[in-house]
């Protein structure tokens, strides 16, 4: 009897254990009921799920993106595109990451950055800026492709470009209107040159990257013609246009050339042939209150440049040599010149006189300067011109000029503009 009771107890224990194990297994594998609102309020890890291949822009591949850029990732769900509000960053929509489209985007973006960081609405028409726009990559600091979804949920790509602020700022500073360096040798010929390609007229300057500029410089050197190219800053943009050169507008050309102080001005417009293979050109030579027109042709633009320099060089240099044979050297002392800025002003002012061929520094101290002046023609003509103006007046503070000084004058500054009496040694 006792054995039977023990067996029954053992069986009951086994049954109870089995039931507990089954209940535990059910609790383990039973799905849990989770509130969607609770999930929404629970922080979730940031996971970007793989996207279909068609979300990548056409021809957009890792291999075609340089190492300097961030290549586009697979497209996540992002907010609608917004333009970066930074003065040196631009974001443009693109269809792919080909090198050609990227360069076009760089050009458009750089033009936009230049315009929004300049107060001049015409700044992008400057030759200096046009040269920069032909090589926009030099101003790019970094760029990246940014994927976004538009209003309909379709993925689109943007090229985000960050420009180098220092490089752009320096470029803008180059365009600021500032007087050129004083021209020591007025026998240099100032050359205005325009290249007309299919109606697109480009004015060449000292910073142009057009190959005809070094060709012009090399040919001028070969034929012994010292030349000077304009700087084409904002001051010149407002004074002279490419059309003035191509129309040989002598008045506009002379007006824009005054700041350079040269005696000889050459202006030329070379034109690409609309049909055939012959380039044409027309030129004007301005010197000694006279003007001469010339026409030259060639198979290429370089041929035209060579023809023009070969023909004009002897005309210009012979006139310069005749002027030099009639010149006279004088030493001019000017007091009231208190710093280098005033010295530069004096030299620039003297080079505006048609009677002055060359200005050289002889002596410089704290308050005065001695200059060696090469005059054109009779020195009396220079004295007449000096007596007709008020910025340089004869120095009455001295009774006798120092040895070797032919003319003794005083520079009248803005703070001392009252007329002053004049005293000078007789011109030998």
Confidence of residue 7 (pLDDT cuts 50, 70, 90): low
The more confident residue out of 404 and 321 is 404
**Residue 22 predicted with pLDDT over 90:** no
- CATH number for 254: 3.40.50
Co-location of 193 and 152 in the same domain: no
Domain boundary among 174, 200, 235: 174
Co-location of 201 and 320 in the same domain: yes
Co-location of 153 and 241 in the same domain: no
Most confidently modeled range among 105-114, 162-171, 273-282: 105-114
The more confident residue out of 376 and 346 is 346
Q: Residue 139: inside a domain, yes or no?
A: yes
Tokens of 249: 């507008």
Domain total in the chain: 3
pLDDT of res. 172: 84
pLDDT of res. 232: 67
Q: Residue 249: inside a domain, yes or no?
A: yes
Task: Give the residue-averaged pLDDT of 5-19.
Answer: 51
pLDDT of res. 171: 85
Task: Give the residue-averaged pLDDT of 237-247.
Answer: 86
Cβ distance 337 to 343 under 8 Å?
A: yes
Task: Give the residue-averaged pLDDT of 164-179.
Answer: 76
Domain that holds residue 227: 189-325
Co-location of 344 and 268 in the same domain: no
224's torsion region: left (phi>0), alpha (psi -120 to 50) or beta? left
Co-location of 316 and 366 in the same domain: no
Residue with tokens 């004007």: 284
Q: Residue 34: inside a domain, yes or no?
A: no
Co-location of 129 and 74 in the same domain: yes
Q: Residue 420: inside a domain, yes or no?
A: no
pLDDT of res. 57: 54
Co-location of 358 and 321 in the same domain: no
Does the reported pTM lie above 0.85? Answer: no
Q: Residue 6: inside a domain, yes or no?
A: no
Average pLDDT, the chain: 74
Instruction: For residue 80, give the DSSP letter.
Output: P
Confidence of residue 240 (pLDDT cuts 50, 70, 90): confident
Co-location of 83 and 165 in the same domain: yes
CA neighbours closer than 13 Å in the CB half-sphere of residue 193 = 27
Task: Give the residue-averaged pLDDT of 172-186.
Answer: 58
pLDDT in tens, 293-316: 998 888 888 888 988 888 888 888
Task: Give the residue-averaged pLDDT of 30-35.
Answer: 35
Buried b (16+ CB within 10 A) or exposed e, 326-354: ebbebbbbbebbeeeebbebbbbbbbebe
Q: Residue 62: inside a domain, yes or no?
A: yes
Co-location of 211 and 133 in the same domain: no
**Residue 73 predicted with pLDDT over 50:** no
Domain boundary among 310, 325, 340: 325
Co-location of 352 and 380 in the same domain: yes
pLDDT of res. 144: 93
Co-location of 228 and 130 in the same domain: no
Any long-range contacts for 139-143 (C-beta under 8 Å, 24+ apart)? 139/110, 139/163, 139/164, 139/167, 139/168, 139/171, 140/106, 140/110, 140/164, 142/68, 142/69, 143/68, 143/69, 143/70, 143/102, 143/106
Q: Residue 39: inside a domain, yes or no?
A: no
**Residue 69 predicted with pLDDT over 60:** no
Co-location of 373 and 389 in the same domain: yes
Confidence of residue 246 (pLDDT cuts 50, 70, 90): very high
Q: Residue 211: inside a domain, yes or no?
A: yes
Domain boundary among 325, 341, 363: 325
């Amino acid at each position: 009897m006792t054995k039977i009771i023990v067996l029954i107890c053992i069986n009951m224990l086994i049954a109870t254990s089995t039931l507990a194990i089954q209940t535990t297994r059910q609790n383990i594998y039973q799905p849990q009921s989770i509130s969607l609102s609770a999930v929404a309020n629970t922080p979730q890890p940031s996971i970007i799920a793989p996207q279909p291949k068609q979300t990548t822009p056409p021809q957009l591949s890792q291999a075609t993106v340089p190492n300097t850029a961030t290549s586009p990732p697979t497209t996540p769900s992002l907010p609608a595109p917004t333009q970066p509000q930074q003065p040196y960053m631009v974001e443009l929509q693109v269809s792919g990451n080909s090198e050609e489209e990227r360069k076009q985007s760089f050009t458009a973006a750089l033009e936009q950055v230049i315009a929004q960081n300049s107060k001049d609405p015409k700044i992008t028409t400057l030759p200096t800026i046009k040269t920069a726009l032909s090589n926009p990559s030099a101003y790019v600091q970094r760029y990246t492709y940014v994927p976004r979804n538009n209003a309909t949920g379709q993925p689109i790509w943007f090229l985000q470009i960050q420009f180098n602020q220092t490089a752009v700022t320096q470029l803008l500073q180059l365009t600021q209107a500032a007087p050129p360096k004083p021209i020591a040798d007025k026998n240099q010929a100032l050359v205005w040159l325009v290249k007309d390609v299919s109606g697109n007229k480009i004015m060449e300057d000292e910073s142009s990257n057009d190959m005809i500029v070094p060709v012009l410089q090399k040919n001028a050197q070969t034929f012994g013609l010292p030349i000077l190219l304009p700087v084409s800053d904002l001051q010149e943009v407002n004074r002279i246009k490419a059309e003035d050169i191509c129309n040989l507008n002598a008045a506009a050309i002379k007006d824009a050339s005054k700041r350079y102080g040269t005696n000889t001005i050459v202006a030329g417009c070379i034109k690409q042939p609309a049909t055939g293979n012959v380039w044409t050109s027309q030129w004007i030579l301005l010197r000694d209150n006279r003007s001469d027109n010339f026409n030259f042709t060639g198979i290429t633009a370089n041929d035209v440049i060579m023809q023009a320099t070969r023909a004009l060089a002897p005309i210009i240099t012979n006139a310069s040599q005749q002027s030099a044979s009639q010149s006279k050297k004088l030493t001019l002392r000017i007091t009231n010149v208190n710093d280098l800025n005033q010295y530069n002003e004096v030299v620039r002012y003297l080079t505006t006189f048609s009677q002055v061929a060359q200005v050289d520094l002889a002596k410089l101290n704290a308050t005065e300067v001695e200059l060696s002046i090469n005059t054109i023609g009779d020195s009396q003509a220079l004295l007449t011109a000096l007596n007709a103006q008020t910025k340089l007046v004869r120095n009455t503070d001295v009774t006798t000029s120092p040895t070797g000084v032919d003319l003794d004058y005083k520079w009248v500054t803005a703070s001392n503009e009252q007329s002053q009496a004049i005293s000078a040694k007789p011109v030998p």
